[in-house]
Structure 1
Amino acid sequence: MLEYERQMFFDVLHSDGLTVCAKGITYEKVLQNLLKIFCDSTTLVLVVNCSDYEEKLLTSQLDSQHVHESSTNATERERVYLLGGIQFMSTRILVVDLLKGRIPIELITGIIVVKAHEIIESCQEAFALRLYRQKNKTGFIKAFSRNVEAFTYGYGHVEKVMRNLFVRELFIWPRFHATIQKSLKPYEPVVVELQIPMSQNMILLQANILDIMNYLVKNIKSLNRLVELQEITVENCVTKQFHKILQSQLDSIWHQLSSQTKLIVADLKVLRSLMITTLYHDAVTLYAVMKKYRSTEYALSNSGWTILDSAEKIFNICKERVFNQNDEFDPEQCPKWKSLSEVLRKEIPTDVKETAGKIRKKEERQKYLRQQVKVLVLCQDARTCYQLNQYLTQGPEKYLFHMAMKNDVTVAKLAESYRHINREDEPNPFRIQQVQVKPKEAVLKESTSVEGSTSKTGFLKERIAKRRAEAAKKEAEEEEARKREEEEDRKKVSEMEAELLAKEESEEYHCFRDSYILTMSQKGDANRTMTDDGELDDLCDITQLENGEFESFAEMEQLDMTRIEKESSRPIVFIQTFKSEINGIASLDRTLEEIKPRYIVMYHSNVTAIRQIEVFEARQQRTELTRVRVFVIIHSKTVEEQSYLTSLRREKQAFELLIDTKRTMVVPEYQDGKSEDAITMLQKAQEVSSRQAGGQAADEQLPVTPRIIVDMREFRSDLPCLIHRRGIEVIGDYILSPEICVERKSISDLIGSLNSGRLYNQCVQMTRFYAKPMLLIEFDQNKPFHLQRNFVVSGDAGSSNADIMQKLQLLTMHFPKLKLVWSPSPYATAQLFEELKQGKLEPDPDVAALVGSDEAGGPSEMENIAESSNPNIHDFLIKLPGINSKNIGKVMRKCKNLKELLQKSQEELRELLGTELHAKMLWEILHVAHKPVLGEAAEKPSASKFKRGFGKRNF
């Protein structure tokens, strides 16, 4: 470990706390060594909130029999808990096992939480930590996070996170920390920054896009003067955090914004995407994207930016970058491509020679020259990774034509510079025949010259007239031939397009991967020479870099450097993104450790990647001559550079805010939850009510902890955590009392259940077994309490309002007893449940399990009755006075049909229903004539109603 990692390790080991690191300053080594200490059967340490890759990486690094993964079987998990060691598990399983008592809480040594910035009050991790700290006052809690900017969102976010984690210490590790500076400064890599100017067209594109962004930002602020929109600036519009900024500022008031404001928000995201495409991708891709935004359909659905003068300039410039003045396909190449080729073919070979010349000893110099040259090229996304791979292996012309065919760009003619891809000496499946057309001016010039050279005699005049006729005929024939050749040219372009698309389909799997490996061809082998000592020249690899050609090599997902080095001594170029979708930023750390590159080319700028390279080089502790060389290719004075500087500034401001917060923060002694005085541990049931004369009535009897039975599937939501926080015991559809059952639905769940019909079946079950069924419709606390069509910022789409309301109306008509409850947030729901339970009996979990739950072993008796009976007769009986959910099952078992029920006496009904009141109510409704309303003549009861076979049908 480095010096700062050792200091971080000792801080975490000796005290519980929250550790916040800067981007690229990872805590993986600290966590790995911390787990090694507790990797024993005598301890039980739980690791939560880990990604799948982090879990696999730590498991492979620890390589111990005492490291266990979470099992899906409850019995197996109970057995593994007793084995001790390190347990990686999901939070939902941990919460359920803590509530069910499957895990020995008092034997837990501690809990380690990663990605701690996500721990909010209502999340499952906070729920698990609260359950753990209630019964275990001695175990430790250690939390880690590398996202410092997340702690700046909202008021007092870091204090809330620490309170939810039950920690009192905050450890801050920014890049400018003195210990980190001391660890990394002596081994800084050699950095060469190449500032590449953009082309004139790219500069104009950037200026026009920024002009439109500035116009839209001013427009959105003028339309919403009462809304705080300080973070919506042109500078933030081009950063990666722009979507999060929009979501945090506008999601809660989205339904209050005008339609024009919503269109502007969508257009700002479109313009940011155009800016990224301009800087990172090729001219053909940008032109294809702009064609979509110039369509009539899009013109009718945007805020109007497409009719601005700047937008028209953007459209024209995009076309000029692809087609020349003669309307020939001649796209502009990316400026960084040429710089990348120069770095690979000139800068790196020159540096190898210069470095070798500085080594005095011949043996060491030869050893250095024999080392395989490994170059790592880092870029932002998988599309750019694919772009660079195709550029280096196929060349810019073939790649750009390929992209034109892929994006349906019409190509009628090719420029002269693109004809070399169809040379006859190259086996090229995309060959287009060269077309040479004799210009019309040449024909006219020829005929004119002939005419001027003749004599003025009559005989010659006839010859001239004849020649003119022949020339006109020849001109017509040549014009027709030229048209045929142009048609053949277009036809062959179409054939070329078809072949390209066929090749693209065959290579579809290989497109847009996040890593590639290239090597140099043997073209430079002819330049191998023998030295005076009879040895092969050591500069052969350098010659291949200068003169060789790139070709694809092995798959990078199954990276085996030993095999690669054995199979090829040629220079190798690795192309990879800064982070992969599966492994995240850890993929770059793995690549650096595996291949140990001699040169790194940063095609794009990234703060995290630069620091990862710094940490890697500090671990190697090499001399200055043998350190890694880093070439940074960047467009100076552009949005790319500004975005990089903005990310640095935002991180620095976040750390400064965190340092000031730590200096002024007041942390209570009981915040760690280890004392009985912890405020977060106080249950509301133990509070004394001032209405009971100082609590005299409460002293007479022991307090009863309120209890709610929760369906296991509901532990994916935040509500069980908030219910437990209010002092209500969660056992484990929310059953509030023997009569009250609540089916909770979020907005997305409600729409899905209404469309699939699942909600109807759930309501049928609730109304059969519970007297007071309720449907709770719960909104997200960060979104408006308003049923709208969709949330454009969050992308949470749904059905229309009319469809939802109509289906809810039909639902209430079918189930008159069903009550609809609307809740603005999980916090309001928890408070509502607490109020509904006041004065009610506590539910029995065994009875609830019989009704049917995830933990039931099989179908219950009541379920069997419900399935075997006629649901229409069931619904008719439940509406009769005296029959409820408790006694309807007995009635349907004892009476075969309605006729048998009518023959029961009042005494028999009392034995059947359980109470005399219910028996009297049912007997009177069946046998006593009731007076009609408003003095109408009463009809005498007639038994003829039941003589038509209606009552003979079995239940």
Structure 2
Amino acid sequence: RSELYVSGGILSITSRILIIDLLQKRIPTYLITGILVMHAERVNETSTEAFILRIFKEENKEGFIKAFSDSPESFISSGLSPLQTALQLLQLRKVFLYPRFHVMIRDCLEQRKADVTELYQPLSPSMDEIQQAITECIEACLSEIKKGNGNWLNVDDLSVENSFFRSFDVLIKQQLEPVWHRVSSKTKLIVNDLTTLRKLLEYLVSYDCVSFNSFLETIITSQTPTSALSQQQQSPWLSLDAGNTIFSVAKRRVFVRTSTTIPTDNTQKNSYPTSKLPPGIQPVLEELPKWNLLAEILQEIESDITSHATETSRTSSEGEDLSHLNNTILIMMENERECSQLREYLSTMHIAERQGLDKGSIMLGRLLKNYFKWKSGMSKVSKNLFNENGKERSKEVNSNSERGTFQRGQQPPNKRRRIRGGSNTAASVVPTRKSKAKLLEEEAQEIANFSSTSCYDDEFDVEAFSTYFGLLDLRDLIIIRPISGEEDDRVLQSIKPKYIIIYHPDQAFVRRVEVYRTFYPDLPCKVFFMMYENSIEEQKYLSVIRKEKDAFEKLIREKSVNI
């Protein structure tokens, strides 16, 4: 590396290797023209980057330092004058701010604006009911935290809007860390419950109905009172009316009990045979509203491609080169799980339509079959678990009965002990949770009995696989990718898609699309922006935009008062 340093040029190097080479004098510091620091918001008092810059400035008085950051919220989060502190750590004196509303930035980006179509999809009634119930549970948890920890926490930060972000969990734990040993176990439990409830809000709009219901049932199973899990360790929000609404409505989205539910006119059709269902179960299999909206967008794009095909062929016949143009469709999702789910939906929706079914019936039918398998397996696990617990308890009872005496300082075995919180009012929560767990156990046992008498066939069709397997034209593809930060810039530049569908609203990716349009003004690009109307998803997206604007305004004010 010493020869590489002496040869000069632009070098991209990690901070760990650079600090070792600087300390061992492998790199001549006086020959360094300048240092560029990426992600300046990550530099703090104990970071390696701050140490490198301090050594560089001590040994090289003429070299320059330039730092870049795309996270303005990080410079106003904590401390007194955080911007001034960051400049001192980076060995800088000047700061340049370029918000989206900057005149130069706005004029540059608006010269080549993309053709954007915003589509707002309302939530289904059941999803809206679950969303309101989760919000009520979050409000109850926040009010409980404020009661006993108001002296240690910043009450202004404890809002429902802030709880939608992952940084909220870190913020609460950072504020409670100095007094964590004095915090009650109930408060610690509620802090973890806020993380679970935030995930439920995210999974509600991203998971299918079967997976979402399965996730809720795992929560109930993990919260079942056992010998290893006492009453004080139960999540309080499970006993609320809103908590019961979450579980009941989520199950109603998957199936209903025909013996206890009045049959209604259900317009949804599913491909799951009734013979493969346990008795008394009527499948509902509610699809996510965005799925149908996405199918309509793809149909519109297909019509647009067909209408421009004639014009393109006529232009190419006149001698103009159109080889750089393509009809690639890029769909950006939140994570890889949503990508795999959407790939299966798009690959099976046409088959379901030809069979006269809903577009997602085939995929949801497969998930429902796996759900029944999972329920039957869960019944066996819980049965074995309770058998082992019963054996352990019987051993303890036998050992206690054999003793028959008690030592000094211990409580007599026949004496009743008054337990705090042991009244009827305090113990009224446990039967509710036990009844939920008991219902799940009975349902799992019923499905297990049905699964033992029926068989599922998962045979691989080689002929069908060979028929549909082959190479596709790179110019007519539907590419589904998760949002990956800086990697998205390279994806846009390499693929150069004609149609971009933003399935999950993400402000950072919207900025990247604007920059992409500025770099390639001659390439046609049409953007479809999808969002659930009056949902947490919309509120979260608008909050991100507002927080970014407020952060820049605070930084501008702090910059104006710095000397």
What TM-score does the superposition give when structure 1 sets the normalisation length? 0.44
The residue number in structure 1 matching 2:343 is 389
Aligned to 2:132, the other structure's residue is in SS state helix
Does residue 350 in structure 1 map to residue 275 in structure 2?
no
Contact 1:411 1:493 in 2 (8 A): no
Does residue 179 in structure 1 map to residue 104 in structure 2?
yes
Contact 1:97 1:103 in 2 (8 A): yes
Aligned to 1:201, the other structure's residue is in SS state helix
How far residue 130 of structure 1 moved from its aligned partner, in angstroms, is: 1.4
Does residue 573 in structure 1 map to residue 473 in structure 2?
no
Structure 1 segment 154-173 matched on structure 2, within 5 A: 154-155=78-79, 156-173=81-98
The residue number in structure 2 matching 1:673 is none
The residue number in structure 2 matching 1:798 is none
The residue number in structure 2 matching 1:363 is 315
The residue number in structure 2 matching 1:691 is none
The residue number in structure 1 matching 2:329 is 375
Inter-partner Cα distance in structure 1 for 2:158 and 2:541: 18
The residue number in structure 2 matching 1:854 is none
Find 2:366's aligned residue among 392, 399, 402. Answer: 402
Aligned to 2:524, the other structure's residue is in SS state coil
Inter-partner Cα distance in structure 2 for 1:601 and 1:276: 20
Measured at CA, do residues 152 and 494 of structure 1 come closer, stay the same or move farther in structure 2, by a change above 3 Å? farther
Does residue 199 in structure 1 map to residue 124 in structure 2?
yes
The residue number in structure 2 matching 1:304 is 236
The residue number in structure 1 matching 2:560 is 663
Does residue 316 in structure 1 map to residue 267 in structure 2?
no
Inter-partner Cα distance in structure 1 for 2:135 and 2:449: 44
Measured at CA, do residues 600 and 97 of structure 1 come closer, stay the same or move farther in structure 2, by a change above 3 Å? closer
Inter-partner Cα distance in structure 2 for 1:153 and 1:167: 20
Measured at CA, do residues 255 and 203 of structure 1 come closer, stay the same or move farther in structure 2, by a change above 3 Å? same
Q: Higher relative contact order at CA 8 Å, sep ≥6: structure 1 or structure 2?
A: 2
Contact 1:376 1:575 in 2 (8 A): yes
Measured at CA, do residues 87 and 219 of structure 1 come closer, stay the same or move farther in structure 2, by a change above 3 Å? same
How far residue 271 of structure 1 moved from its aligned partner, in angstroms, is: 0.5
Does residue 638 in structure 1 map to residue 535 in structure 2?
yes
How far residue 361 of structure 1 moved from its aligned partner, in angstroms, is: 10
Inter-partner Cα distance in structure 1 for 2:135 and 2:506: 22
Find 1:126's aligned residue among 24, 32, 50. Answer: 50
How far residue 489 of structure 1 moved from its aligned partner, in angstroms, is: 8.1
The residue number in structure 2 matching 1:495 is 456
Deviations 1:421-459 (A, max 9, x none): xxxxxxxxxxxxxxxxxxxxxxxxxxxxxxxxxxxxxxx
Structure 1 segment 225-240 matched on structure 2, within 5 A: 225-227=150-152, 228-240=154-166
Structure 1 segment 545-564 matched on structure 2, within 5 A: none
Contact 1:393 1:552 in 2 (8 A): no
Inter-partner Cα distance in structure 2 for 1:317 and 1:186: 48
Aligned to 2:44, the other structure's residue is in SS state coil
Contact 1:162 1:168 in 2 (8 A): yes
Paired residue type of 2:302 = P
Does residue 142 in structure 1 map to residue 95 in structure 2?
no
How far residue 488 of structure 1 moved from its aligned partner, in angstroms, is: 12
Measured at CA, do residues 321 and 553 of structure 1 come closer, stay the same or move farther in structure 2, by a change above 3 Å? farther
Deviations 1:475-496 (A, max 9, x none): xxxxxxxxxxx99985686423
Paired residue type of 2:187 = T
Inter-partner Cα distance in structure 1 for 2:477 and 2:44: 46
Inter-partner Cα distance in structure 1 for 2:5 and 2:348: 56
CA RMSD of the aligned region, Å? 3.0
Inter-partner Cα distance in structure 1 for 2:195 and 2:210: 21
Does residue 80 in structure 1 map to residue 4 in structure 2?
yes
Contact 1:232 1:245 in 2 (8 A): no
Aligned to 1:343, the other structure's residue is in SS state helix
Paired residue type of 1:211 = E
Inter-partner Cα distance in structure 2 for 1:394 and 1:651: 40
How far residue 310 of structure 1 moved from its aligned partner, in angstroms, is: 0.9
How far residue 601 of structure 1 moved from its aligned partner, in angstroms, is: 1.2
Inter-partner Cα distance in structure 2 for 1:409 and 1:150: 46
How far residue 245 of structure 1 moved from its aligned partner, in angstroms, is: 2.6
Does residue 243 in structure 1 map to residue 169 in structure 2?
yes
The residue number in structure 2 matching 1:63 is none
Measured at CA, do residues 595 and 200 of structure 1 come closer, stay the same or move farther in structure 2, by a change above 3 Å? same
Aligned to 2:138, the other structure's residue is in SS state helix
The residue number in structure 2 matching 1:652 is 549
Inter-partner Cα distance in structure 1 for 2:488 and 2:312: 34
Inter-partner Cα distance in structure 2 for 1:487 and 1:84: 70
Inter-partner Cα distance in structure 2 for 1:553 and 1:292: 40
How far residue 403 of structure 1 moved from its aligned partner, in angstroms, is: 2.9
Deviates more, 1:378-387 or 1:155-164: 155-164
How far residue 411 of structure 1 moved from its aligned partner, in angstroms, is: 7.9
The residue number in structure 1 matching 2:145 is 220
How far residue 572 of structure 1 moved from its aligned partner, in angstroms, is: 1.4
Inter-partner Cα distance in structure 2 for 1:495 and 1:657: 61
Deviations 1:779-813 (A, max 9, x none): xxxxxxxxxxxxxxxxxxxxxxxxxxxxxxxxxxx
How far residue 372 of structure 1 moved from its aligned partner, in angstroms, is: 4.3
How far residue 313 of structure 1 moved from its aligned partner, in angstroms, is: 1.2
Aligned to 1:230, the other structure's residue is in SS state helix
Contiguous gaps of at least 5 residues in structure 2? 226-230, 259-280, 350-359, 377-446
What TM-score does the superposition give when structure 2 sets the normalisation length? 0.73
Contact 2:223 2:235 in 1 (8 A): no
How far residue 207 of structure 1 moved from its aligned partner, in angstroms, is: 0.6
How far residue 290 of structure 1 moved from its aligned partner, in angstroms, is: 0.8
Aligned to 1:254, the other structure's residue is in SS state helix
